[in-house]
Amino acid sequence: MASRKIAVIIGSLRKESFNRKVAKTLMLLAPPTLDMEIVEIGQLALYNQDDDDNPPATYTEFREKIKGVDGVLFCTPEYNRSVPAPLKNAIDVGSRPYGHSAWAGKPCAVVSVSPGAIGGFGANHHLRQSLVFLNMPAMQQPEAYVNHIGDQFDGDTLTNDSTKAFLQKFIDAFAAWVERHAD
């Protein structure tokens, strides 16, 4: 089986983000068929359609990175029952100019994590609405809403065996999903 390049997009910009810790855990658990790399989004200026004719270099670099991958893993927190602004901005930057979306056809999956009880359910589903429009086949099962994440790490190490087992199942399913939708 060929190795597939996967962009990991983390919706939180916070240095000690639980989403970043979960993303890194998933990267460690990933089978060797997935070559996963975090693609940073914090450097992207707010999308402005006026820039389409002369886009900032950060837009062009980001779009080229996304175009060059075989799939995308989104790790998002929930802010006010939706996705954080930097993540929505990255989606908009990658989808423009209209008709030239870097996201089109890329298989993807969403994991949302939260210190709260519902594990980012609202953000997960809001993000999926955009993914449908972007023509990104999103993995449906297993759904990944990880709650009470703040109690599950010692530094960067996931200490909850049940969550680790679930994340292993999730990343294995994602590897199969990407392979199923490979060009």
Enumerate the H helices of the chain as residue ranges.
18-29, 57-67, 85-95, 121-133, 161-180
Q: What angle do CA 124, 144, 146 make, to 5 degrees?
A: 95
Strand, coil or helix: 76: strand
Helix-strand-coil split of the chain, %, nearest 5: 40, 20, 40
pLDDT tens per residue across all 183 residues of the chain = 569 999 999 999 999 999 999 999 999 999 999 999 999 999 999 999 999 999 999 999 999 999 999 999 999 998 888 999 999 999 999 999 999 999 999 999 999 999 888 888 899 999 999 999 999 999 999 999 999 999 999 999 999 999 999 999 999 999 999 999 987
With both helix axes pointing from N to C terminus, report the angle between 85-95 and 57-67 in degrees, rounded to the nearest 10. Answer: 80
Tell me the residue type at 101.
S
Provide the token pair at 41. 């989004």
Tokens of 175: 């590897």
Cβ contact 84:73 at 8 Å: no
Q: Which CATH superfamily is domain 4-180 in?
A: Flavodoxin domain (3.40.50.360)
Structural domain boundaries of the chain?
A: 4-180
Q: pTM of the predicted model, to two decimals?
A: 0.96
pLDDT reported for residue 47? 97
φ/ψ of residue 74, rounded to 5: -100, 130
φ and ψ of 132, to 5 deg: -60, -50
Q: What is the pLDDT of residue 1?
A: 58
Distance CA 155, CA 126 (A): 30
